[in-house]
Amino acid sequence: MSDLFAPHFTLERRRVGEVTLNVRHDVGRQPDALPVLLLHGFPQTHAIWHRVAVLLEAQAPGRYTLVMPDLRGYGDSDKPAGDAEHVAYSKRAMAADMHALMSSFGFERYMVCGHDRGGRVAHRLALDTPRAVERLMLLDISPTLTMYERTTMEFARLYYHWFFLIQPAPLPERLIGADPRVYLRTKLSSLGSSASLFDPRAFAEYERCFADPAAIHAMCEDYRAAATIDLEHDRADADQRLACPVHVLWGARGVVHRLFTPLADWQAKCAAAVTGGPTPGGHYIPEESPELLVRAMQAFFVDIGRGKNSA
């Protein structure tokens, strides 16, 4: 997969707290560059950012330092064993990984963009470490609590995986494990997108990582946490508002656009101004609409207080 990214991106395994994360980055190449943490979603890895990385380098050389990890349980990052309360895969635990990762590079303030599950981790990261997240971009999600509270028959049918993956182990693990590639291909060909949009090299990487039984279990635990402990944390923080500016994008052909009101949903959760709007494609915005996403990043990720201008 190395040819998806420019040679100056380093791929390493980095210990942060109780886990070791697989992370691709260009930290140190431009000391004054703006640090940006990019978080992927289910069922993918950091490879989802390969088109974004190329475009950012071409359009704003030296302006950004990109940190692109595999979330715990995904890709080549550690996959802790699940537990009865699903604490190991709570968004609080996953967000703590991300803050520890950025701190390990010396970044105490940074921008974050999260897609899908990565967006949910990013939301929790901004809630739990408000002094760290300078600006937050969320891709194709409404808040987890909002989506569960507004569940309808149509949502359950279109987002069946939310209810399938949370079933007690090992039922979904066994069923997916019987033919993980079929499940992956079916998943990536839904939510308003087509499998044809993926670079074959990235798709091969998703297949390689998804075929690992430990990854299948970890991803189920991610969703089990979302339906249990994450909701407890979200309800406990119902009165807490995000301190940073938020920009939300979603796919006009996706389920979130069809069944929810992402801008209004996030405005209800945020005291700061929330901006955003739909993109013309489906769910997988970083790979389907990378040019539009990069333009939005350039406009939104303003390095306040350091004298840098947005594009």
Active site residues: 116, 283
CA distance 89 to 226: 8
**What is the number of H-type helices and E-type strands within the chain?**
15, 8
Contact (CB, 8 A) for 133 and 126: yes
Gyration radius (Cα) of the chain, Å: 18
- 95: tokens are 């967000």
Q: Cβ–Cβ contacts within 10 Å for residue 152, how many? A: 9
- 19: tokens are 């886990």
Choose among 157, 155, 176: nearest CA to 218. 176
Question: What are the backbone dihedrals phi and psi of residue 125, each rounded to the nearest 5 degrees, phi first?
Answer: -60, -45
Contact (CB, 8 A) for 50 and 5: yes
CA distance 97 to 91: 10
Contact (CB, 8 A) for 250 and 257: yes
